[in-house]
């Protein structure tokens, strides 16, 4: 009978190295040793451990005396005895804990012939003391390069999520519009976009729509979209000036707001920091399952909800609650969350301004970063910062 895996974690500092040990080993049981000072990263680590596909049990041995070598060694031996080596393959992780406790764990690992991992996230190194680590993590597929630079699908697999399969028509649509960066960029930076989107929201192709605002008909936005072949502007039989989307793809891309997702996706690409990135990423068998834009950075997930509503801040927190619900199934506080809209926070409408202030306060309570139209010139730097040094620590 194949043995199950047990992981002992000497914890105390940043949880990231120990989380990577979880991903690499994917144990069935976990034992955590913490000192009298406790462990700030404990809750995040426990939540991620419980989300792993092999998870069966987790126990915590608190108040291990950090500077008492013999006491720390006894605690490690006690943990080892809880899951006999006849049935369990043990791995020790000593990446974040107090030095004395780590040395004690190493000594026990050496006596028992147990792999003892030290993971350095900054240097992207896995050091295996006592025994070669590749035999431990071979079946998980998480060799160092893949572990430190995880794809979105790798991350989802660890969280027991799968990407929804797309039908051929949708695949063709997505491949087509991903090249429409000029249209996405134009819409992102034009001050006429909100009025135009309101007028053309969910309109079908080849259906003429009268201009309610005469100035919009002669705006640079409409003229450029006409030049790019996304629109056709003409007079109807009554002499009224109208516009219509030219194809079902342009109507879907512009009318449903996909353009904003593609704009943000392209900006993520331009930062050059993402290990992997997608737009319109749908998770199968999950409610509220679409991640408008999602990326991984050093085994960490960042995702954005993109909205092109006229007033996305209006009177409720449903968008923010949806974002948090998505984060709940993908790592909770270990996930960075953004809300991105082309709406302005500087509008002349006092109700919208007040709504934005209230919305921002609610977002802060939920640890969600809000990005508005005024922030678009710096959006690459915002994305880069939230990946590397987020406003809300991923703990």
Give one DSSP letter per residue of 156-181, joined into a string: HHHTT--BPPPPHHHHHHHHHHTT-H
pLDDT for 142 equals 60
Report pTM.
0.83
Question: Which CATH number goes with the domain that contains 234?
Answer: 1.10.10
Please say which residue of 148, 168, 190 terminates a domain: 148
CATH (domain of 369): 3.40.1350.10
Show the beta-strand stretches assigned E in the chain: 4-10, 29-33, 57-61, 88-93, 116-120, 125-129, 209-210, 231-235, 241-245, 276-282, 290-297, 300-307, 336-341, 368-371
Q: Does 381 share its domain with 347? A: yes
160 within a domain of the structure (yes/no)? no
Same domain? 269 vs 353: yes
Q: Does the pLDDT of residue 76 top 90, yes or no? A: yes
Q: Say whether pLDDT at 121 is over 70.
A: yes
Examine residue 352 and state whether it is found in any structural domain, yes or no: yes
What three-state secondary structure class fits 38? coil
Q: Which of 225, 255, 285 is the last residue of a domain?
A: 255
153 in any annotated domain? no
- Give mean pLDDT, residues 43-58: 87
Give the sheet arrangement for strand 88-93, strand by strand. 57-61, 29-33, 4-10, 88-93, 116-120, 125-129
The pLDDT of residue 138 is 57
Residues 323-338: what's their mean pLDDT? 88
Q: Give yes or no for residue 124 having a pLDDT over 90.
A: no
Helix (H) or strand (E) holding 349: none
What pLDDT shows up at residue 225? 96
pLDDT at 29: 96
Per-residue pLDDT at 15: 83
Residue 164 belongs to some domain of the structure: no
Of 81-90, 116-125, 224-233, the range with the lowest mean pLDDT is 116-125
Using CA atoms, how far apart are residues 301 and 127, in angstroms rounded to an integer?
Answer: 24
pLDDT at residue 4 above 70?
yes
Residue 196 is predicted with a pLDDT of 93
**Quick one: 123 and 225 in the same domain?**
no
Task: Indicate whether 96 belongs to any domain.
Answer: yes
Is residue 292 domain-resident?
yes
CB 15 within 8 A of CB 7: no
Per-residue pLDDT reduced to its tens digit, 265-299: 999 999 999 999 999 999 986 665 899 999 999 88
- Pair (77, 210) in one structural domain: no
121 in Cβ contact with 132 (< 8 Å): no
The pLDDT score that the predictor gives to residue 122 is 73
- Confidence at residue 321, expressed as pLDDT on a 0 to 100 scale: 94
Nearest CA-CA partner of 52 in 78, 23, 82:
23
Q: What is the pLDDT, as a whole number, of residue 143? A: 63
pLDDT confidence band for 181 (50 / 70 / 90): very high
Measured CA angle at 25 (ends 20, 29), to 5 deg:
105
Query: Are residue 270 and residue 250 in the same domain, yes or no?
Result: no
Kindly report the CA angle at 335 between 261 and 187, in degrees rounded to 5?
Answer: 15
Query: Has residue 127 got a pLDDT over 80?
Result: yes
For residue 239, is pLDDT > 90?
no
Q: How confident is the model at residue 140 (pLDDT cuts 50, 70, 90)?
A: low
Does residue 265 sit in the same domain as residue 381?
A: yes
**Domain at 65, CATH number:** 3.40.50.10770
Domain enclosing residue 89, as ranges? 4-148
Q: Where does a domain end: 129, 148, 167?
A: 148
pLDDT recorded at residue 284: 84
Residue 169 lies in a domain: no
* pLDDT score, position 203: 86
- Assess whether 249 and 291 both reside in one domain: no
Total domains in the fold of the chain: 3
Backbone φ and ψ of 285, nearest 5°: 55, 45
Q: Counting every residue, how long is the chain?
A: 395
Query: Looking at the structure, do residues 20 and 98 belong to the same domain, yes or no?
Result: yes
- Do 223 and 248 belong to one domain? yes
Task: Work out the burial of residue 258: count CB atoms within 10 Å of its CB; fewer than 13 is exposed, 13-18 middle, 19 or more buried.
Answer: buried
CB 134 within 8 A of CB 143: yes
| pLDDT above 80 for 211 | yes
| Structure token pair of residue 79 | 């943990």
Same domain as 8, residue 140? yes
Amino acid 144: pLDDT: 66
Indicate whether 33 belongs to any domain: yes
The confidence score (pLDDT) of residue 91 equals 93
Q: What is the pLDDT of residue 395?
A: 64
Same domain, 283 and 384: yes
What confidence category does residue 51 fall into, taking pLDDT thresholds of 50, 70 and 90? confident
| Average pLDDT of every residue of the chain | 89
Do 320 and 358 lie in one domain? The reply is yes
Task: Return the pLDDT at 254.
Answer: 95
Q: Does 142 or 38 have the greater pLDDT score? A: 38
Six token digits for residue 31: 């034992």
pLDDT in tens, 306-327: 999 888 998 678 999 999 999 9
Longest dimension (CA), the chain: 93
Residue 174 has pLDDT above 90, yes or no: yes
> Which of 195, 342, 164 lies closest to 261, judged by CA?
342
**What's the average model confidence in pLDDT over 68-87?**
92
Angle at 260 between CA 297 and CA 178, to 5 degrees: 75
């Amino acid at each position: 009978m194949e043995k199950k895996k047990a992981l002992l974690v000497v914890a105390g500092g940043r949880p990231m190295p120990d989380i990577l040990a979880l991903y690499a080993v994917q144990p069935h049981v976990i034992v955590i040793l913490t000192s009298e000072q406790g462990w700030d990263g404990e809750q995040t680590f426990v939540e991620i451990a419980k989300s792993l596909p092999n998870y069966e049990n987790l126990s915590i041995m608190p108040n291990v005396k950090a500077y008492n070598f013999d006491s720390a060694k006894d605690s490690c031996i006690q943990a080892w005895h809880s899951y006999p080596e006849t049935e369990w393959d043990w791995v020790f992780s000593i990446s974040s804990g107090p030095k004395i406790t780590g040395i004690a764990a190493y000594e026990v690992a050496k006596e028992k012939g147990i792999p003892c991992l030290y993971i350095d996230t900054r240097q992207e190194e896995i050091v295996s003391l006592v025994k070669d680590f590749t035999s431990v993590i071979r079946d998980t597929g998480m060799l160092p390069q893949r572990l430190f630079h995880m794809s979105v699908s790798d991350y989802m697999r660890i969280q027991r999520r799968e990407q929804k399969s797309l039908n051929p028509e949708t695949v063709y649509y997505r491949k087509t519009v991903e090249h429409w960066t000029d249209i996405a960029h134009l819409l992102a930076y034009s001050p006429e976009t909100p009025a135009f989107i309101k007028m053309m929201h969910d309109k079908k192709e080849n259906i003429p729509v009268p201009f309610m605002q005469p100035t919009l008909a002669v705006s640079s936005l409409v003229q450029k979209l006409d030049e790019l072949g996304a629109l056709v502007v003409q007079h109807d039989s009554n002499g009224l000036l109208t516009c219509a989307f030219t194809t079902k793809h342009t109507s879907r891309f512009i009318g449903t707001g996909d353009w904003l997702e593609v704009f943000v996706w392209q900006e993520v690409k331009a930062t050059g920091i993402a290990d992997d990135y997608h737009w319109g990423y749908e998770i199968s068998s999950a409610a509220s399952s679409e991640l408008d834009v999602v990326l991984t950075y050093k085994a960490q997930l960042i995702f954005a909800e993109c909205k092109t509503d006229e007033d996305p801040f209006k009177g409720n927190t449903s968008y923010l609650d949806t974002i948090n619900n998505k984060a709940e199934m993908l790592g909770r506080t270990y996930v960075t969350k953004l809300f991105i809209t082309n709406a302005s926070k500087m509008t002349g409408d006092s109700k919208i301004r007040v709504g934005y202030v209230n919305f921002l306060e609610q977002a802060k309570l939920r640890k969600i970063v809000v990005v508005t139209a005024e922030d678009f010139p710096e959006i690459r730097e915002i994305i880069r910062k939230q990946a590397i040094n987020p406003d809300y620590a991923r703990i």
